[in-house]
Amino acid sequence: MQQYKMAGNEDEAIESKRVFVNYCDTYQGKNVAKYLSQCVVGASLDEIEEEEEETGSVASGDMDRKTKEGCYQVISSFLDREKDKIRDKPSFVKEILQYRNREQLLEHLIECDMIVYDITEQPEIIDEAIWVVSELHADLDRLEKPKMFVLISSAMTWANSKPLDPDDTEIPFTEEDYRRRRAHPNWKDHINAEKTVIKLGKTNKSKLATYVIASGLTYGAEENIFHYLFKAAWHNAEHLHVFGAGQNCIPTIHIRDLAAVIQNILDSRPKIRYLIAADDSKHTLEEIVKAVSKALGTGKIKHIAKEDALLSKDIQQADFDQLLVNLRMDGVFIRENMHIRWASETGILENIDTIVREYRESRALQPLRILIHGPPCSGKSTIASQLCKHYKLHHIKIADVIAESKERLKKSAARAQIDEAEEEEDDGTAAEDEELLAAIDEDEKTNDGRISDEYILRLVKQTLKSVRCQNQGFILDGFPKTIDQTKDLFANEDEDAEEETGAIKYDKTITPEFVISLQADDEFLRNRVMNLPESVVVQNHTDEKGLLRRLKTFLETNGDDVTMLNFFEENEIHAETIDITQDKTIDNKMIISRILKKVGEPRNYGPTQDEIEEKKRREEEERLKKEEEDKRERERQEKEEAAERKRRQDEWTERLNDVKRQEHEMLETQSIPLRNYLMKHVMPTLTQGLIDACKVRPDDPIDFLVNEFYIRINSMARICGLSSLLFLFFRPSTCSITIRK
């Protein structure tokens, strides 16, 4: 952050001013607002002090004082106003404007001393910017104090300008040539906005001063348009792409330098109204891509057709147009008349290391380095694999390091032979790799296929210093094993470096930040080995005999006094000790949970768009699978319930039938005496009565039959001695009525 000494007497109170910067949640809006919030009003009018120019900062006490006394009060807005109420106000912004229409916005802006509108990132804001400056101009009489309107436009309004000298196309454009500028077809609205702002500022300069800044492509912090390059390099892309020949010259400026230009304009109100904001570089697209690839990636680039560039999801049409612009611009006025402590005056190439560091810090892309230590068969590799998947780190296993390093050395050695045959010059790396490969092969022959610690440590250190490990980070799986290996591996090779803690120097770029020490007793480890599948035992040579041998070696090299953990303790890197025998969960959930709590959140981009889509696809598949399983479960339950209902119905029916059968049998049993009596006494009489009725043929056969039956029954009753009650029951009238019914 640029710092200046305070203007005038330091004890004199400095009046603060309100400045509006649109959209503090965009790249340029956020960085400009943050910068101005830490700038004292009028500070850029003084020369930069030599001490500040050397150190680039001031004491924190001075910064606190400036923040409270006389700094610009930044008023801003959010791009997505629908989310205003649920978003926190940034600390560098004094107020977030709430408005429903442009008229309400204007009322707020009239209360501000300066208004800064950036139209480079959101072209749809152009109409609003023109409307605001037009309304301010229309209400000049209403303004109680002078206003300043600054429009941040793009160098693309110069993209189609004809060269100043057809014979010398390298002559740069300056502010004096702004009337000759010709915009790119997609930036016509921008140049119209520039013309409107300049025109309205000429009417009454004492009341309304307007300025236009033609900004080069901004970079720094989160990198804006160049972010796709940095992101691809950070993700270890094999090549960074150059569109077309890549020989087009791109005007650029660091975002903090652009903010410093705005600060100078707000402080000094210069007479010139149109300014070019560009650094002193004249770099081509190919040079920029190569610099980013070398500093953050593999160092390789690849030219692709312009048509193929638009197939990338990370490149929009507007970005594509800007990256292909071929324009030389020279901000003469800002270099000769403004007091700027440049963050990157010479451009991206010369300041690439600082820019890469800013990029990592602003996006929180710091490497995460972890070491897993523990006895054999304690689950180091399994836990390391789970952590690598969660944190997206590189799993460093010695066997893989040796295999990959030998393959890399072979390719490099082959390149050395080709270069020698073609008599081409190289940096000597290929020849060194060829010698190292030969030395390792010779060492293996003399050590029965094993490689000495000297070469293993060298290969591991090269791997840890590789771009991929320096970008994302790594997890060391069970190596180093001894304290001597630890000291040799993490030793700081730069004797002049100030990376010392206590009495031991170490290389912070490869030394683990977190050390996880797994602990378990011998009996637990022996039982674990006995329960391993045969395939795993054969593959890893982990039988009981091998375990005992490896345990003995581990205990000899990791006693209380000689353990490698002492190295980290002496350097204040305290190991997290975990007793794995206490974890009864599946897939080491308890152990992983403790490690995640210790290490914290991931330090990377998070899931990519493809990973997000893959996750959604898996979640959808799991949802459909669960729905199908639930459906099958419901159908199974319904079938079981239906079967249970049928079983109960059959059981009830069977019981009912048994009851009916039993009742029938009981009735049958009870009716036997009566049937016998009827068969013996009643049926013969009835039969004889029917015979007599057939012979006599009475007019009323029923009465005849009843009377006949009554006479016989009565006689029989007297003979049998039946009671008078039975006699009454068999009265003729009763019998007749019953039979007729």
Please report the domains of the chain, with CATH numbers, ordered by start residue.
24-362 (3.40.50.720), 372-393+472-599 (3.40.50.300)
Q: pLDDT at position 733, please?
A: 56
Instruction: Give me the pLDDT at residue 631, please.
Output: 93
Contact of 509 with 465, CB cutoff 8 Å: yes
Question: Residue 627 has what pLDDT?
Answer: 93
The number of C-alpha atoms within 13 Å of 475 and in the hemisphere containing its C-beta is: 22
Residues of the chain with pLDDT under 70: 1-14, 48-68, 81-87, 416-428, 494-504, 531-544, 608-609, 712-741
> Are the C-beta atoms of residues 377 and 523 closer than 8 Å to each other?
no
By three-state DSSP, how is residue 712 classified? helix
What pLDDT was estimated at residue 428? 65
Q: What is the pLDDT of residue 7?
A: 41
Question: SS3 for 116?
Answer: strand
Predicted pLDDT of residue 606: 77
* Tens of pLDDT, residues 667-693: 888 888 888 887 887 788 778 888 888
User: Which residue type, as a one-letter code, is found at position 649?
Assistant: Q
How much is the pLDDT for 9?
46
pLDDT at 419: 52
Q: How far is CA 694 from the centre of its chain?
A: 111
Cβ pair 203, 138 in contact under 8 A: no
Q: What is the per-residue pLDDT for 98?
A: 87
Per-residue pLDDT tens over the stretch 47-73: 765 545 444 433 333 434 444 578 999
Cα-atom radius of gyration of the chain, to the nearest Å? 48
**CB distance 45 to 267 below 8 Å:** yes
* pLDDT of 738: 56
As to burial, measured by CB atoms within 10 angstroms (0-12 exposed, 13-18 middle, 19+ buried), residue 5 is: middle
Task: Pinpoint the alpha helices (H) of 515-605.
Answer: 522-530, 534-540, 544-557, 565-570, 589-599
